[in-house]
Amino acid sequence: MIVMVELKSRKIFASGVWKENPVFRQILGICSALAVTNLLINTLIMGLSLIFVVTMSNVTVSILRSITPTRIRMMVQTLIIASYVIIVDVFLKAYLPDISEALGPYVGLIITNCIIMGRCEAFARNNTVWPSFVDGVASGCGYAFVLLTIAFFRELMGFGTLFGMDVMPGGWTNWIIMVMPPGAFFMLGAFIWIVRSLGPRGEEEELKK
Amino acid sequence: MEGLGLSAPVIFFAAIFTNNILLTNFLGMCSFLAISREVKASLGLGFAVIFVMTCTSALNYLVYYHLLVPLGLIHFRYIVFIIVIAAFVQLVEMVIERSSPILYVVLGIFLPLITVNCAILGVALFMIIRNYTFLQSVAYGAGAGIGWTLAILAMGGIREKLKGASIPKPLEGPGIALIIAGLMALAFMAFSGMIQIQ
């Protein structure tokens, strides 16, 4: 029994991180994916915040799933998500004021990040607490993984640094374009291209038509 | 602080061109990628966004400075803004359904989408971070809406032309849309010498 549960959790986790990765398979929540990825450290904090919010919202929605009236469930979910975002925002302001300043409105914009709403709607609403928890962590990690990959290349090419440390050899010329908005678009476009050439096609294709 | 030096028309202009909310702040990307396959749908959504953005930036300004700040509840601004936006969209939907069936056909299906459009909430958050006055906030809301519409219209036009192009399979759909958006962002950067708000 326990083995079965474990297997299932692992499957949920794997599909959240890779097979159904919210960013490049479902093209969800990319607003913040693009905006915060010019520095690795900001990206890391954003990723952790998102993992926290999506996990806790999934768990809360799952706990409340039997007593939430279907008609107003969207509103309830939004309020649950907003409450957790407020916790993150206040926490960052208190302990990491510099990063909170740099992330600006994008912490608040986690509320409208479709990944979280999508997971609550698609998964937590119909599942018990533990699978919802795993699903939340997995989706959050999948998102953070994409963000960190993009930020890695943007910071490396744009500033020649990683987490603020110089890593590029002396003669390196910074590609300023990489830390500016167009660089983010090109990077994510190229990333989606590479990932889709590697793996089977995601569910987004079916929605396209 | 930053906002004080700039007049409302300047902010309006900057929000459309130099600080386009879609191409420099990446807000409203989800609906941007989903809807921009055709010019007609882009236009409908664009008008709905302009209208809602202008009105909610005024509403949110009043709620924030006359309700939340005096009561010391600024940490609840996220929840309050979301509720204001959702309530406003619902209200508009009911009003135009009653008063103008034609407008309802054009905008109706787009209105519910707007509640979750992060650009609307983004405008409200930016106006507070930048300490805009009431007039500046409304100008910023209207400008951001028009800028967003301009970007999605251009994108819709380009994607219509691309239908006949032979794009590598994995790059189809969102991939190519992002590359195009990157090129558009490059083009819009040409405006940035004129004014800068940030």
Residue A91 lies in a domain: yes
Q: Which residues of B touch A111 (CB under 8 A)?
A: 78, 82, 121
Residue A58 lies in a domain: yes
Digit-coded pLDDT (tens) for A35-45:
888 888 888 99
- Whole-structure pTM value: 0.82
CA distance B20 to chain A (A): 11
CA distance B100 to chain A (A): 27
Report ipTM for this prediction: 0.82
Q: Is pLDDT at B39 greater than 50 in this prediction?
A: yes
Please report the number of interchain residue pairs, chain A to chain B, with beta-carbon separation below 8 angstroms: 121
In this prediction, residue A203 carries a pLDDT of 47
Residues of chain B with pLDDT > 90: what percent?
Answer: 16
Residue A10 lies in a domain: no
CB contact under 8 A, A192 and B25: no
Highest mean pLDDT among A65-79, B52-66, B97-111: B52-66
Residue A8 lies in a domain: no
In this prediction, residue B198 carries a pLDDT of 54
CB contact under 8 A, B121 and A111: yes
The domain of A98 spans 23-200
pLDDT band at A204 (very low <50, low <70, confident <90, very high): very low
Nearest in space to B187 (alpha carbons), one of A39, A109, A181, A85: A181
As a whole number, mean pLDDT of residues B76-98 equals 86
Residue A4 lies in a domain: no
As a whole number, mean pLDDT of residues B59-69 equals 92
What is the number of domains present in chain A? 1
CB contact under 8 A, B170 and A196: yes
In this prediction, residue A188 carries a pLDDT of 86
- C-alpha dist (Å) from residue A181 to A14, A123, B22, B23, B46: 31, 33, 10, 7, 22
pLDDT band at A94 (very low <50, low <70, confident <90, very high): very high
Q: Domain residue spans in chain B?
A: 2-191
Tell whether A197 lies on the interface with B, counting CB pairs under 8 A: yes
CA–CA distance, A188 with A18 (Å, rounded to integer): 16
As a whole number, mean pLDDT of residues A177-202 equals 81
pLDDT band at B134 (very low <50, low <70, confident <90, very high): very high
Residue A6 lies in a domain: no
Tell whether A114 lies on the interface with B, counting CB pairs under 8 A: yes
End-to-end CA distance of chain A: 41
Nearest neighbour of A185 by CB, restricted to B27, B116, B181: B181
Residue A12 lies in a domain: no
